[in-house]
Structure 1
Amino acid sequence: MRIAFYGSSLLSSYWNGAATYYRGLLSQLAKRGHQITFYEPDAFDRQQHRDIDPPDWCTVKVYPATDEGVRSVIAEAALADVVVKASGVGVYDDVLLLGLQEAARPGAIRMFCDVDAPATLAELRAHHDHPMHRVLPELDLVITYGGGPPVISAYEGFGAPLCVPIYNALDPETHHPVPPDDRFRADLSFLGNRLPDREARVDTFFLDAAARLPERSFLIGGNGWETKAMPANVRHIGHVYTRDHNAFNTSSMAVLNIARDSMASVGYSPATRVFEACGAGACLITDSWVGLEMFLKENEEVLVARDGVEVAEHIRTLTPERAREIGEAGRARILKEHTYERRGAELDRLLRNVAAAKRERSAA
């Protein structure tokens, strides 16, 4: 099928954590014979901070973030068999949402890909005039990269005919063990951009733990932390390009995952960083959230903390040998059950089933 995918960016992870998800999932769809065009706006300096060149498995069209630019790419949706609007494009989101519904040809699959379902659903609850309320009943499919049963129930309650989580996963060709790099050595590392719905949890889980262990070294990567007051034993290194993620994850004794507020409250929402870290064989410490056991087993494949006190205790008692055991066990579990090859096969089946159902309805 010809897939037109409208998202934030495939080429750049700069202020764009969804890039890994898009790359992993869409590359697998391409391997299954789908022809993909990814449309991304020239916005937020992402094109100046590209991680990758346009891949051979996908056509990437970068359009100006202008009225004319967005209209031109909306018109191309009429050529596709599957039209996908992703959440969080960042510019012209509502214009894309409504315009793509109108531009898609009658037999095309209309799909919404939500990379932050808890936040989207909160908006729908707060704003009864949100255009998504009009669009949802007209869609064929909503996929989310997290959320589990609560998100499925909420989306279908708002009128979506079908909502299926296609979770984040690992691309082992991209994220895998590499030798440690002195640039990223630390006892505990955290990678994530400074966002309003994450900052307080970073204070609680990361900075509080660092303050409790002044003799240990802590490393934080990501955008926006330059002006943040931090303990003296915390080093900030700014944006970490995708090409450096493996070294970032393998160079510290442990890596910390901190969910954003909405994802932590809903659960079933492992971030891309969980799979990247495990894929590199890192010892992962994560904040606690419902549904974790679907992906990793506590105390064997991952360490779990409820606050900064518990994070600090993990670091205080963790040995390199124990960290290595957990990292190896976590990597084995993810490789067995949570790769993008599996996710791509799942979405491929889903799209083919939806297409068959549409053909049956039109023939009736």
Structure 2
Amino acid sequence: MSSSKSFWFLLIIFTSFLIGIWLENDSSIFYDNYVAPIINFKIPLIFTIVSAAAVYKYYDNKITNYESSIYNYEQQIKDGSRALWKYFKDIGEIKTKEIINDVMKRTLKGNENILAIQIYEYSFRHLRDNTSLYVEHKYSSVSAETDINALLQTHYRVPKDLYDDYTEALEILNGPVLMEEGIDSVTDWCKVQLETITDGSLEDLTEIDSIRYSLIEIILDILSFKLNDNFSHDLDLEKKIRLNGLKRTGILKGIIVNDFYTFEYTGNSNKNGRKYLTKVIEDDNIFNGLPHIVLITLNPAYLPKDNEIHNEKLRELGENFYQLLKKEMEIRYNEFKEVINN
């Protein structure tokens, strides 16, 4: 017989014994002699207080220990979750790099028009006196026998008044209707900015002038596209080369345009005449939603001479790369989400 069953068996016998004594000796006498003294016994107040305090302390310790156990358990869960999340985050970053590098290599291998692909992360800061743009190199892939001088990181600091004037000119060009008054306003602004460059000597040119020249080129490019005309400027080649050497602004122009943008390198090196295509990527499923710009170095020998076909071909190259990258990153994102949910 188990100890639990023995206990209940003895309790029943003992209870039966007490009931028997009670019935045999008159219940009132039994009550007066045995029960009443217990009930009427007066417990000292100090004993009651001490006992209550002891009981309270006992259960308070029990509750404190229980709450402490719950807290420790919650911390263990949080620490485990953080470690698990960091693990998946690290794995995700490694997998992301693998996918991006794979897409770049596949694009290079499958297209002789492309010599190199570089990807940069960027961020804007609008300060009181200037607009600051920080650019940092993240990924690159280069075809064999191609020489590139990758930009590791750089800052572009555009004076506030220059940036505000440029933004205003851009709003006029991108408005619903481009009126003659708006065209005059934009071209006049370009002339004033260009005079700032042309009036000075070659040695007086600064990085700000290089950025100023880039903004002029953007506005004139957009104006030429909008009106199907050629809006150009007169600036001697020596100053162009000087401005391009002071600050590499191709990436700046691509970011500000915020769409597909093409430009040509002008300088005293074997890269002279080399063409570039940029594409800004701001997609939640690519690069964790952080803004990036893709810089594609093109081989001019394989590009069409006809401008219309040329531009269409360039846009197609950029769009194909973007769509392939987007597709592969969405697959990775869905796989990662499935692992987290399971």
What TM-score do you get using the length of structure 1 for normalisation?
0.25
Structure with greater proportional helix content: 2
Larger Rg: 2
